[in-house]
Structure 1
Amino acid sequence: MCIHLNLMIFTKIIRGFIRAWQQLDVDGLELHCGDAVAWLEGHAFTGREFVYVDPPYVMDSRRGGKLYRHEYDDADHVRLLDVLAGLPCAVMVSGYDSPIYDSSPLATWRTIEFNAMTRGGIAIERLWMNYPEPAALHDLRYLGSNFRERERIKRKKARWQAKLAKLDPLERAAIMECLRELEAAE
């Protein structure tokens, strides 16, 4: 189960979308509209969930002023972070660098920073994660350190796939066995 919590208050239009999405028959999909912290406190977690939280950013970390009708104050952020730190599952939180987050339980979590485009220009966004960096990529489309390298790998993969498709099935199976042995030896 993947849970995404954007902690701003939804408009009537968004609530309509949520009602429509709730009618879909998608295995494992749960949509809730309400107080995210109360929901997190009341949910029976199994440990197999992934929770992504995108709260309103701490006021002192923003370039602009209020953005939402219902903002989070510092106490709301502290409450949220304490609840998130106690969850028995994988959690990712996005935001800007802030003393509130630096002095919270999230201070010991793994972080990455990246440039994000905002209304006010480029800002450095941070992700806090309570789980270790994966040893292997789960999505090989992102193999490579930049666009050019990813494109080179994509072309190489296509060439190998075309060559392998032309092989006799038994010959292809022998090559697959060799690849499995190489992978097992690593």
Structure 2
Amino acid sequence: MQQKTNTLAIILSAIALFSAFYLAKMVLDSIVLQDTVARQRLKISTLQQDRQQMMTALDKAIKKKDEMSRKNILLKEYLRQSNFKVRKLDSEFKKVMLRVDELNSQIGILQSENIALRSSNEGLKEQVAKLSEENEQFRTKFSSLAELKKAIRNLRRQGRDILEKLKRKPQPNIGNNRGYIIKDGVPTYPQRVKIEVTPVSE
């Protein structure tokens, strides 16, 4: 009887020991599980924070992209207007250059005309000087009455000589002399020529 009691006690002790061991294991597993859960929660919290930061960064990136898109649209519009202005300025520049070429051509013509006018002016000055000299010579030549009479006689003699030559030659047909007194080196006016000389007043 005593032996059975001892055996039962041993069995109960074993069961109690096993239960204690199992309970200790359960407690240890619970502690480990709680620690794991706590770590996982911390990791989840960290991941959530990272996700929030990534969402914030993504929102900023989207906003920046939208802003860059708006700026790109504005830049494209500015570029289009700039190209239009450049084409307009280029067209105006070509017109200005054509006008400059025309003005340069006109300036060249005016310079040529100016040179011609200067040359003509010099020629006129020479003619005026020559006429002045001839006028002075005439005044000197006809300053006396005797020289004037001598000149009149010479002119009359020259007129008579011309008339004599005309009488000797057959008269050409002058019906269509077109107003020429001398045509092709031949006088076309057969009548007497009256020459008058007026003294030059000093």
The normalised TM-score by structure 2 is: 0.17
Q: Which protein is bigger by CA-based radius of gyration?
A: 2
The normalised TM-score by structure 1 is: 0.18
Give 1 or 2: higher strand fraction.
1
